[in-house]
Amino acid sequence: MTQELLADLVAEGGAVVLSGAGLSTESGIPDYRGETGRRRRGEPMTYQAFVGSEAARRRYWARSHVGWRHVTGAAPNDGHRAVAELQRRGLVSGIITQNVDGLHQAAGARDVVELHGGLDRVVCLGCGRRTSREALDRRLRAANPGWDAATDAINPDGDAVLPDERVEAFAIVGCEDCGGVLKPDVVFFGENVPPARVRHCYALTGAANLLLVLGSSLTVMSGLRFVRRAAEAGIPVAIVNRGATRGDGHALLRLDAPLGAALTDLLSTLDAAGQPA
């Protein structure tokens, strides 16, 4: 019955998706707090530590240099493809993701709002220039001939866990234009999401007929605030996630299931009901 109710809500159109790390676990990218979470293997970098210490930046870029290969090699899963298909059918009017892996876009989704930025870009904290992560990867390889490190401990933000001696042997590079500090174009812990981006997400949420939360525990306020705003406005909230979420009390519908299977079943239910493909 829950799947049928979800299909009924989505079939009305105007759904806005709010996705989290749980949507990407089936692509091999672990989440922080769910069944594949590996937070125990190291705390994520904070903005304050990154800007305040060259040693912290060296640690981040060495670990990310290894972890980036894992993230960039990941492929969209059935859940990402289902969201893109719902958008193609005109049933999803907006996609807000807390993920930084770009897998929604790789699956064919359009106009995705990356709430926390994207790992495929790098920004200079001095002059503000944005460049591609691929270009930085080539520069880091050139600056570190013969450097390599293997690990199976990868966090969802592409942060690999490495021994200290490998980190200390890693050379970092600055902005090619001004020599300034380079940072991934993502929102670190302790950093604020740009206000214009938040306003855009509030506008999408406020205009939605349904807020569909996919694979997020809603533990942090950056995602939970949109659930609260929708509930306050009387907009139904549906949550599909493995395990409890902080927004469950606001949800009209709560489905605990693997995301890929649940969203594939949703498409099948819509097809069976005669919803145009």
> 216: annotated binding-site residue?
yes
> 157: annotated binding-site residue?
no
> 98: annotated binding-site residue?
yes
> 91: annotated binding-site residue?
no
CB 180 within 8 A of CB 126: yes
Which of helix, strand or coil describes residue 184?
strand
DSSP of 25-82: GGGT---SSSTT--GGG-PPPBHHHHHH-HHHHHHHHHHHHHHHHHHHT----HHHHH
130: its two tokens: 């944005």
277: its two tokens: 């493909």
Query: Which among 223, 213, 217 has a CA at the least distance from the CA of 17?
Result: 213
**In terms of C-beta density within 10 A (0-12 exposed, 13-18 middle, 19 or more buried), how is residue 126 classed?**
middle
Query: Which among 147, 145, 199, 161 has a CA at the least distance from the CA of 60?
Result: 161
- Tell me how far apart the alpha carbons of residues 116 and 184 are, in angstroms, rounded to a whole number: 11
> 201: annotated binding-site residue?
no
> 275: annotated binding-site residue?
no
> 180: annotated binding-site residue?
no
Which of helix, strand or coil describes residue 238?
strand
Q: Is 116 a catalytic residue?
A: yes
- Tell me how far apart the alpha carbons of residues 68 and 74 are, in angstroms, rounded to a whole number: 10
- Tell me how far apart the alpha carbons of residues 267 and 89 are, in angstroms, rounded to a whole number: 10
Check 80, 116, 200, 250 and give the catalytic one.
116
> 124: annotated binding-site residue?
yes
> 177: annotated binding-site residue?
no
What positions carry a catalytic annotation?
Answer: 116
Which segments are annotated as binding site for Zn(2+)?
A: 124, 127, 175, 178
Which segments are annotated as binding site?
A: 98-101, 124, 127, 175, 178, 215-217, 241-243, 259
Which segments are annotated as binding site for NAD(+)?
A: 98-101, 215-217, 241-243, 259
